[in-house]
Amino acid sequence: MNPPTNTPPRWLLYGATGYTGVLIAEEAVRRGHRPVLAGRSREKLAPLASRLGLESVAVGLDDARGLVSALQGLPLVVHAAGPFVHTSEPMVQACLSAGAHYLDITGEIPVFENTFRHDAEAKDRGVVLMSGVGFDVVPTDCLARYVADKLPGAHELDLAIAVVSQASAGTTKSALEGLPSGGFVRRGGHLRPWPMGKGVRQVRFLDQERTVMPIPWGDLVTAWHSTGIPHITTYMAQSAAVAHALRFTFPVLRRLLAVDAVRGRLARLVESNVRGPDEQLRQTGYSQVWAEARAPDGRRVAAWLQTPEGYAFTAKSTVRAVEEVLASERRGAFTPAQAFGADFALSIEGVRREDAPA
């Protein structure tokens, strides 16, 4: 699918020099877009802008006027600078002030909740606010919507992911910020604390059965908005040994990471030493998602998705989301599946969906 108009789409990509930001910029150019690259450092932006033949602007997130000024004449922002729990709100406010759409690639629960708190403002300003347009959470959100649509009246939803890849520095730093909050599930429509390591189980994925453990994935917010199902648990595949060990070690880890100095030191180590998957792994890695919806009368519907490697998927899905938003008349805060439907994930090259046997 080509971009929606013959004029190359122009929009702002903030955090363009980060690991995922670079991939998004490259995919945008490949699809005929001309994003303006943005971030704090002019020195870091210049080589990327030169290589891709794009404009760039250096502005910090603490410069509210500068952000609004950078958005003048641009209809949309893709925000790719994390940890989003610290960076999202300034950009959301700039977008509301400038009348620009806001998209980000977060997987952080507080950010999703905050985005939806601005729904009325977004409608008043005539813009879309949408968090999670990458691997966090497009595949899971779309599969949740798919099984929910096939089982009206479902009251329970389980989602599980299995990833063959490795995390970037940005993803790892975001995880460090979220760990002190602990685990969560959704029960009766409300987020509830859940001990890390509790609820380990087996799930059949497309290729094999895997051990999974509950984790506080963004779908605890997005799937609630996309499906209305009140009881949601999100899982990640993990070795049985690690999953069971976390039940005993996580309380100590959580107390350590609650100390700002410890978390800051670890974040600096991550920034210096974590690079994310190389091109070969982005080409060969993959992810799988499983979802099951259950109704009170015992009926069940389950399905799987297989996607390209998570960061490769994020670059593609982000640019596709940009195209969909720019071509639509939607206004307000949305999840990807709310705005684009359960089949949006299938519009990404290399994604396939399979129904579980009835």
DSSP 281-332: HHHH-EEEEEEEEE-TTS-EEEEEEEEE-HHHHHHHHHHHHHHHHHH----E
**4 within domain boundaries:** no
Say if 43 falls within a structural domain: yes
- The total domain count for the chain is 2
Instruction: Identify the bridge partners of residue 69 per DSSP, sorted by sequence position.
Output: none
Tell me: do 118 and 32 sit in the same domain.
Answer: yes
Do 164 and 304 lie in one domain? The reply is yes
Domain that holds residue 174: 138-310+350-355
pLDDT value at position 202?
96
* Nearest-angstrom CA–CA distance, 272 and 291: 36
When comparing pLDDT for 230 and 265, which is higher?
230
Same domain flag for 57 and 116: yes
Domain check: are 237 and 295 in the same one? yes
Domain membership flag for residue 236: yes
Is residue 37 domain-shared with residue 161, that is, in the same domain? no
pLDDT in the model for residue 253: 82
**Residue at 260 is within a domain:** yes
CA–CA distance, 205 with 161 (Å, rounded to integer): 9
Nearest-angstrom CA–CA distance, 273 and 64: 32
Calculate mean pLDDT across residues 86-112: 98
Domain contains 6: no
Query: If you average pLDDT over every residue of the chain, what do you get?
Result: 94
Whether 145 and 48 map to the same domain: the answer is no
In this structure, the answer to whether residues 128 and 179 fall within a common structural domain is no
CATH code, domain carrying 60: 3.40.50.720
Compute φ and ψ for 265, nearest 5 degrees.
Answer: -65, -45
Instruction: Give the residue with greater pLDDT, 176 vs 110.
Output: 110
Domain shared by 143 and 228, yes or no = yes
Do 256 and 146 lie in one domain? The reply is: yes
Give the pLDDT confidence of 268-304 residue by residue, as tens digits.
Answer: 888 888 888 999 999 999 999 999 999 999 999 999 9
Q: Do 108 and 173 have their domain in common?
A: no
Contact 288, 205 (CB under 8 A): yes
Q: Per mean pLDDT, which range of 40-54, 236-250, 343-357 is the poorest?
A: 236-250
CA count, 13 A, side-chain hemisphere, 126: 5
Residue 289 within any structural domain of the chain = yes
Residues 31 and 169 in one domain: no
Q: Give pLDDT, residue 237.
A: 96
pLDDT of residue 245: 82
Average pLDDT over residues 153-182: 88
Co-location of 110 and 234 in the same domain: no
CATH classification of the domain holding 304: 3.30.360.10
Q: What is the pLDDT of residues 325-349, one digit of tens each?
A: 999 999 999 999 999 999 999 999 9
Torsion-angle region of 193 (φ positive above 0: left; ψ -120 to 50: alpha; else: beta): beta
Model confidence at 11, in pLDDT bands (50, 70, 90)?
very high
What is the C-alpha separation between 305 and 146, in angstroms, rounded? 11
Query: What pLDDT, on a 0 to 100 scale, did the predictor assign at position 1?
Result: 43
- Please provide the distance, in angstroms rounded to a whole number, between the alpha carbons at the two ends of the chain: 33
Please report, as a single letter, which amino acid is at residue 178: G
What pLDDT is recorded for position 180? Answer: 85
Is residue 257 a part of any domain in this protein? yes
Residue 25 falls inside a structural domain: yes
